[in-house]
Amino acid sequence: MSQLICQFLCSSEYAIGFQILNYTDDTAMTKSIAQSLIEIKKFDPKDIAKRFALEYNKEPKRGYGTNVVDVFAALMLANYEAPYEPAKRQFGGFGSYGELKIIFDMVDIDCGHSF
């Protein structure tokens, strides 16, 4: 099964006869995480950081934000030795509150509660 997943993730076409599908920076980073987990068989932050930066450099126009591009550059300069540090230094160490995404907004009609 993992071989099949890896082949799918590594291919640039998902089906014969279909044109290459476009995808965003989020998908590119998810793909990098999946490839790392399949190949390394555990969570390896240094390997994932390297894959993120390499993937960005292959296709920089996928919609990456300016701040994460700076993180990739810092990671490469440090040879990926401290994979969490460049991102930690941004936004005073508190992360980007502006990037908070709303996952869902649901109201349970039966009980009147909002989740």
Q: What is the pLDDT of residues 55-83, one digit of tens each?
A: 999 988 888 888 899 999 999 999 999 99
Is residue 49 within 8 Å of residue 83, measured between CB atoms?
Answer: yes
- 27 annotated ligand-binding residue: no
pLDDT band at 99 (very low <50, low <70, confident <90, very high): low
pLDDT for 62 equals 86
Model-level pTM?
0.65
- Selected residue with higher pLDDT from 28 and 97: 28
pLDDT for 115 equals 45
- 25 annotated ligand-binding residue: yes
Q: Give the tens place of pLDDT for each residue, 3-45.
A: 766 666 666 555 555 555 578 899 999 999 999 999 999 999 9
Location of structure tokens 């399949």? 38
pLDDT for 35 equals 96
| Interatomic CA distance for residues 14 and 20, integer angstroms | 7
| Interatomic CA distance for residues 30 and 48, integer angstroms | 10
36 burial via Cβ count (<10 Å: 0-12, 13-18, 19+): buried
- 70 annotated ligand-binding residue: no
